[in-house]
Amino acid sequence: MSWTLDLLGVVLGFAFLAKGSAWLVDGASTLGRRWGVAPFVVGLTIVAWGTSLPEVVVSVVAAAKGRPAASLGNVLGSNMANIGMVMGAAAVILPTVFSRRNLLGEGFWLLGSLGLLWGLMVDGELQRMDAMLLLAAFVAYNVHLFRGRGRRAADPPSAAPSVPKGTVRPWVLVLLGSGVIYLGAETVMWAGTRIAEGLGMGDAFLGLTILALGSSLPELFACLTSVRRGDADMSLGNVVGSNVFNTLAVTGMAGTLSPFGGGEQINLALSRDFPLCIGFTVLLLALSSLGPRKGSVGAGRLAGFLLLSCYVAYLIYISLAG
């Protein structure tokens, strides 16, 4: 009976994720058209914030419980999962075309946010003032988006579909979708953890599979949903925005609540996980630069398989390294 309930929980969680992603993408798309904002920027902001709720909760709770290594590991692990698993799976299942300018244009923030976090933690600690600096950088990032890039590539007013300005339905869809996505991710992780523990799986394997998958499922479902609906730029923006959000906002909130106090695991993250995360980011940018020079970059199945292969290799390496 217990196994039946656990399996039902996994199925129900996936159903929540699918429905929540559809609502979130619908609401975000409508708001983007209403404001005349490019789909890529909508993905970088509204969709990314909604799908990053699990990372926020996990990291903040871990920091509050005095487990800074778990909080930092969640951020770096989620970033690598977003690039390797989410972006890779999306390209394999639904090959599409992404804007080279969009991806390379945000490369500075992808790498810069990681560089800023590493620089602040090079002494093995993240003080409250450091964390507040990360939050300030996140605010600056969003100002940059809406002032410098928000309306770039958006539909011209004459071509944009008419969207009623007086309705709150898009906001309801965004908020409801974000909540259902979070509920779905938590349900999958809860049921999957029970199944894994019943099979006698260790904590390391459990964390690298069930928990890592569960925290990145919102990005995966939102990415696939937006691609299916023709918003390829939004799907890419979701991955990029989630990574910047995790690095600056999630770590900033966790560090402001409970400053990181160093330790062996933090030092390991600085010497091993940071370089790996930067490597995944550089790989994504390198794949984008290999696309055709005119217009856009093709993120085809080959690139997707490469990203997935690198992520699987990372999981194997972490498992062997303990």
Task: Give CA–CA dist 267/264, Å, rounded.
Answer: 5
Task: Give CA–CA dist 42/53, Å, rounded.
Answer: 16
pLDDT digits (tens, 9 = 90+) for 13-35: 888 888 888 888 888 888 887 87
Q: Given the structure tokens 């988006």, which residue do they identify?
A: 145
In sequence order, what DSSP letters do the residues of 147-210 get, joined into one string?
IIITTTTPPPTTTSPP--SS--HHHHHHHHHHHHHHHHHHHHHHHHHHHHHHTT--HHHHIIII
pLDDT digits (tens, 9 = 90+) for 233-270: 787 788 889 999 999 999 999 999 888 876 777 787 78
Cα→Cα distances 16→20, 44, 176, 193, Å: 6, 22, 11, 18
Q: What is the largest CA-CA distance in the chain?
A: 60
The more confidently predicted of residues 203 and 82 is: 82
Task: Give CA–CA dist 94/85, Å, rounded.
Answer: 13
Q: Is the pLDDT of residue 294 over 50?
A: no
pLDDT digits (tens, 9 = 90+) for 132-177: 999 999 999 988 887 765 544 444 443 444 445 557 888 899 999 8
If we measure between CA atoms, which residue out of 103, 108, 109, 105 comes closest to residue 138?
109
Cβ atoms 102, 237 nearer than 8 A = yes
pLDDT digits (tens, 9 = 90+) for 166-217: 578 888 999 998 889 888 878 877 887 787 777 776 544 555 566 666 778 8
Region of 73 please: left (phi>0), alpha (psi -120 to 50) or beta. Answer: alpha
Domains identified in the chain and CATH numbers = 2-321 (1.20.1420.30)
Q: Give me the half-sphere count of Cα atoms (radius 13 Å) on the Cβ side of residue 273.
A: 27
Q: Given the structure tokens 């989410």, which residue do they identify?
A: 86
Q: Is the pLDDT of residue 222 over 70?
A: yes
Cβ atoms 134, 116 nearer than 8 A = yes
Residue type, 129: M
